[in-house]
Amino acid sequence: MTQISNIVGSTFTVVSVIGIIINCLVLFAVLKGRLLFRRQNTSQSVYILSVSSIAMDNFMLVIHVAYLIPSVFLQANPLQFLFQSWLFPGGIDAPPVVIFSSLMMYCWYYTTFSHILMSTTRLYAIVLWKGGSFLTNGITLILVSLVHILSLGVAVTTQFISPCCRESLDYEVYSYVYQPKADSPNYSNYVIDLPLNTFSSVCSIVCYVAIIIYMRSLRSSVLSDAALKRRQQEFVYAMQFAAMAAFYIISWLSFRILPPFIADDDQHDWIYGITTLFVLFNAWSNSFVYLVNNAEVSKV
């Protein structure tokens, strides 16, 4: 396992560090270019949504760098006996491990809810918008704040209130696991996580498909140049968010698809790390798409 742990740990490190750098570059560009609160329109609401999302993504990457990656490397360290198996006394139930895992879930739930917010606001901005300015900076800030509160509340519920089961960072499988409790059903998974992941994904798919169909229908419509330009700009933003949603969907699906193939085969536990890689890539997909497609950000 020594060689595998070193390879997996090194891969996680490279992907995480690249992600943190890219996220910081985009955040710097947005702030330096004064793209936030520059003028009251829906384009600026996009940056508010994105900055909050990128900041949470960066937080998730930092959590992996601070805990999961060091614990992965230590299981390959010949001096492992000098360290606790989970870096802290108490194993997977050690308070620091629980805190890191709970903060990670807070970030994940924010990602989940933010996809619902992003897809529905883009649907409104492109398809339902009839003039005026509903998505002002103030309203967008309120919505983002509500998403943070909701994400924190759900994380507390699944990690501490639900009878079963808390999700934890687990260096032994290079990924994330639910902690079972005897024969108790996994309420956190079946009542909250699975329905929430599914709803967020379906909502995103439906909204972005509706946007694409609507934009295709505009080819035969007569619109002013200003109205057409505005909708085309919003369409570009929508496709950026759609790309993010695709990474998100792959991440949570891999978490559910891989375990049945691996079962109890300890020799192939490293395959669980594929899910972690998808999560790490998902954490900087937003910034990467901005650097590639957004002229306002890339020119700063």
User: How many whole angstroms from its chain centre is CA 151?
Assistant: 12
From the candidate CATH numbers 3.10.580.10, 1.20.1070.10, 2.40.10.10, 1.20.210.10, the one assigned to the domain spanning 2-298? 1.20.1070.10
Collapsing DSSP to helix, strand or coil, 175 comes out as: strand
At residue 148, the pLDDT reads 97
pLDDT at residue 36 is higher than 80: no
**d(C-alpha 204, C-alpha 20), whole Å:** 25
pTM assigned to the model = 0.89
pLDDT at residue 47 is higher than 60: yes
Calculate ∠ Cα 16-20-25, nearest 5°: 150
Q: What number is the average pLDDT over the span 3-16?
A: 93
| Residue 39 pLDDT class (50, 70, 90 cuts) | low
At residue 83, the pLDDT reads 55
For 19-33, the pLDDT digits (tens) are 999 999 999 988 887
Residue 39: Cβ-neighbour burial (10 angstroms; 0-12, 13-18, 19+): exposed
At residue 224, the pLDDT reads 58
Contact 86, 92 (CB under 8 A): yes
For 92-130, the pLDDT digits (tens) are 899 999 999 999 999 999 999 999 999 998 888 788 766
Long-range interactions of 30-38: CB distance < 8 A, separation 24+: 30/297, 30/300, 32/300, 33/296, 33/297, 33/300, 35/296, 35/297, 37/137
pLDDT at residue 242 is higher than 60: yes
At residue 236, the pLDDT reads 73
Query: Can you list the positions of beta strands (E) in the chain?
Result: 167-170, 175-178
What mean pLDDT, rounded, does the chain reach?
A: 85
